[in-house]
Amino acid sequence: MSRLEAKKPPLFISEPLTKDTVSQSLSLLSGILKSCYGPAGRLKQLHNGVGGYVCTTSQSSAIFSRLSVSHPILRVLMASVQNHVSRFSDCGLFTAILCCSLIENFRSLNIASCTVIKISKHLLSLCMDYLKSEACGCRVSVDFSSLETLLCLVRSVLTSKPACMLNKQEVDHLTVLILKAFMFTVPSHVETNAVLGKCIIVPVKGRRVVDSTVLPGLLIETPEIQSAKPLTVKRSCSNMIKIALFCVSMSGDLFSPEEGTITVHHGISLEMSELNQLLNVGKQLVNDEIGLVVCQKVIHPSLKQYLKENHVIAVDRAGLSLMEPLSRMTGNKLVFCTKQLSLVFIS
């Protein structure tokens, strides 16, 4: 495969910020951000000029992901703000406006770059000390034992999003749901290894805002399950759904010699022997009235089909990040290996 054009060397910019192109672009970007900020902030309609849908938003992450800038300085600025939003999920517009204002003011001073760096570091240290002090005016005292205070805090956030176009009833309903979801993420008992939960918002088209609800539990992505079809899950005699968790691969992979050997008679396929072993595991799961099988790695298609025919939901490729909280939530012990096997070829 050949290049259409020669590879260009990295681009290093040493031009001063007083250049007209930088000044005009920075001023335009700053104006867009300032008009979106605050209670009187206005919405922006973003379009790429070629085709596709129009995005109506005042959110910094959506604006930066859809704005196309060519100057390297603005690219660094936008990338820095996007990194801030990805880490803290807040204050994207404020951070971008502050950065633009600092650059514009430093540009008007006409001082050396090294001096600008020293001043910026000093200002940063002053801001951090002030934010950590008790005299900081940005701090808001919140009493977590008072529901009214928490409801006012959540309601103020929702009402600051004009693009949502929510009426009072919808705002009140979502406020209660958000606070309820937050309470579910806080552990009931204080433990040394307590883990704060996480809320995941799943948008559903064609439903009203007041139909939104909070579902406590752990969300597992299952792309193979079609929501249009009725979902029947195998249940136990007590109408409960039993869960089996596997960390070992269930795809019929050959075991390493350290794990033992498999006894195989001459003329018998090793792959078929392993598949029969997996199907035996599936039959045992069905007999034990298991309704959900979650595997960290891969499940063999034949085993998945067998479990599906017996109304057992099989989820594979779950990953370690999902298996650990799932085992803690259900109280199950992960199955790392079914049994030791031995490999002997008999002639």
* Residue ranges covered by each domain of the chain: 20-132, 147-211, 242-346
Q: Which CATH superfamily is domain 20-132 in?
A: GroEL-like equatorial domain (1.10.560.10)
Q: Please give the residue that has the higher pLDDT: either 170 or 70.
A: 170
Q: Please give the residue that has the higher pLDDT: either 252 or 105.
A: 105
Confirm if 335 and 246 have CB atoms less than 8 A apart.
yes
With a cut of 70, say whether residue 257 has pLDDT above it: no
pLDDT at 341: 35
Q: Please give the residue that has the higher pLDDT: either 225 or 271.
A: 271
DSSP string, 171-240: HHHHHHHHHHHHHHHS-SS--TT-----------TT--GGG-----S-----TTS-TTS-------TTS-
* Stretch 201-210: mean pLDDT: 87
Q: Please give the residue that has the higher pLDDT: either 238 or 88.
A: 88
Q: Please give the residue that has the higher pLDDT: either 324 or 79.
A: 79
Helices (H), 241-345: 270-287, 301-309, 320-330
What would you report as the CA-atom Rg of the chain, rounded to the nearest whole angstrom? Answer: 29
* Predicted confidence (pLDDT) per residue in 13-31, tens digit: 665 555 677 788 888 888 8
pLDDT at 339: 39
User: Which of 16-25, 53-62, 262-271, 315-324 shows the lowest per-residue confidence on average (mean pLDDT)?
Assistant: 262-271
pLDDT at 171: 92
Reply yes or no on domain 242-346 having CATH 3.50.7.10. yes
Q: How confident is the model at residue 172 (pLDDT cuts 50, 70, 90)?
A: very high
Distance CA 224, CA 222 (A): 6
* Stretch 261-289: mean pLDDT: 77
Q: Is the pTM of this model over 0.85?
A: no
Nearest of 327, 275, 281, 273 to residue 300 by alpha carbon: 275
With a cut of 60, say whether residue 328 has pLDDT above it: yes
Distance CA 329, CA 323 (A): 10
pLDDT at 19: 64
Joined together, the tokens standing for residue 76 give 């660094």
Joined together, the tokens standing for residue 117 give 């760096």
3-class secondary-structure state, position 260: strand
Confirm if 312 and 285 have CB atoms less than 8 A apart.
yes
Confirm if 97 and 78 have CB atoms less than 8 A apart.
no
Q: Please give the residue that has the higher pLDDT: either 34 or 198.
A: 34
Cβ burial of 159 (10 Å; 0-12, 13-18, 19+) is middle
Do the two domains 20-132 and 242-346 of this chain adopt the same fold? no
Confirm if 35 and 29 have CB atoms less than 8 A apart.
no
Distance CA 343, CA 254 (A): 11
